[in-house]
Amino acid sequence: MLVHSDIRSRRKAEHLEAVKQLGDTGGSSWFEDISLLSNCAPELAWEDVALETHLCGIRLPSPILINAMTGGTEEAYEINKKLAAAARRHGLAMAVGSETAGLSNDRWARTYTVVREENPEGVVIANVGMNTDPDVAKRAVQLIGAQLLQVHWNVAQELFMPEGDRNFHGALVRLHQTVQSVGVPVIAKEVGQGIASEQAERFVAAGVSAIDVGGRGGTNFIAVEAWRRNHLLSDQWQQWGLPTPVTLCEVLGAVGGKIDVVASGGIRNGHDIAKSISLGASAVGIAGPFLRLLSQPEGEKALDAYIEELHWTLHALLVMTGSKNWHALRQRPIVIGGRVREWLSIRGLDKWVRRLGRRGQP
């Protein structure tokens, strides 16, 4: 008979396989509705540009963070080891997957601690679920010597998971308690369905230091859970949630300037990263592509090439918008149209959108 920790480990292994096979779901990312303003006379040199940013007061050499993926299986050990090595080489922050498996079974703790072992000086982010007891959250931080903690909110996934939670009472109270006791800045994170402005305000009231929007457009955990059950998912469920540019604008429009915001959910290229930061994000999380690249022959080389291409594109876009750094880019105009503009208009964010389009030019 399988014990609970073994069931959890098997589920995590199935999640990894699903992410590899399914790829991104949910259709268009909607980032095509957002445009940076080109500057044909930037008065800048390539070496003038810097990619560093800050998240919750911590300096990051790159705005790209390896977002939460895995832990708690034998395969996860090798994945996290290779991801942590890439994070060290390229100056990326890295979040681990939910640490419940490592905290409940010593056998799996090494699949998380390998991240700190491989990248002893890097920025590492712990991860627990939304109903986690604050004392357990503190242990998750201590397990990997994390500088930050993600608390992930995954109601849709839990409901589609046969063994998932069905009672979400008290989660915000526990979040507040965790913020008060854990000893590091806390990030509230969605996992693929996005965060609306109303919930962003509640997270801020609970005391979080940052929000990771986790919008629709990348890995869809509704689809992942359906895959585990061999269930054909309807188009309506494939499209459930807030597309990443929409949830990013919702959150920034509501709480931007009060806390840091991380953009994530189907962000796959440097253009979408730059657009996200121009809107106001402090950093950008990517997960699925890193995992799929590592599964290829010579996956570590492919992963390095992908990250290098992202950094080159970001550098070039800063030059081509006349921006020495991300702060300067946020002073440049950005234009929002199409479906994103229509959504934000319905939601009462017209004034905020117009200000973005009229920001001072170089």
**Residue 81 known to bind ligand:** no
**Residue 324 known to bind ligand:** no
**Residue 138 known to bind ligand:** no
**Residue 359 known to bind ligand:** no
**Residue 201 known to bind ligand:** no
**Residue 266 known to bind ligand:** yes
Which residue, among 261, 263, 218, has the nearest Cα to 241 in the 3D structure?
Answer: 218
Rounded-to-integer distance, Cα 5 and Cα 11, Å? 10
Which residue, among 27, 53, 16, 51, has the nearest Cα to 215 in the 3D structure?
Answer: 27
Rounded-to-integer distance, Cα 59 and Cα 256, Å? 19
Rounded-to-integer distance, Cα 304 and Cα 110, Å? 24
**Residue 287 known to bind ligand:** yes
Query: Any residues with CB less than 8 A from the CB of 94 and at least 6 apart, and which?
Result: 65, 66, 83, 84, 87, 115, 119, 122, 123, 124, 125
**Residue 189 known to bind ligand:** yes
Residue 176 neighbours by CB distance under 10 Å = 17
The residues with which 36 forms a beta bridge, in sequence order, are 334
**Residue 219 known to bind ligand:** yes
**Residue 158 known to bind ligand:** yes
Q: Give φ, ψ of 33 to 5 degrees.
A: -85, 0
**Residue 12 known to bind ligand:** yes
**Residue 72 known to bind ligand:** no
**Residue 127 known to bind ligand:** yes
Q: Using alpha carbons only, how large is the chain's radius of gyration in Å?
A: 19
Burial environment of residue 85 by CB neighbours within 10 A (0 to 12, 13 to 18, 19 or more): middle
The residues with which 149 forms a beta bridge, in sequence order, are 126, 186
Binding-site members are 11-12, 68-70, 98, 127, 157-158, 189, 219, 266-268, 287-288
Binding-site members for FMN are 68-70, 98, 127, 189, 219, 266-268, 287-288
Binding-site members for substrate are 11-12, 157
Binding-site members for Mg(2+) are 158
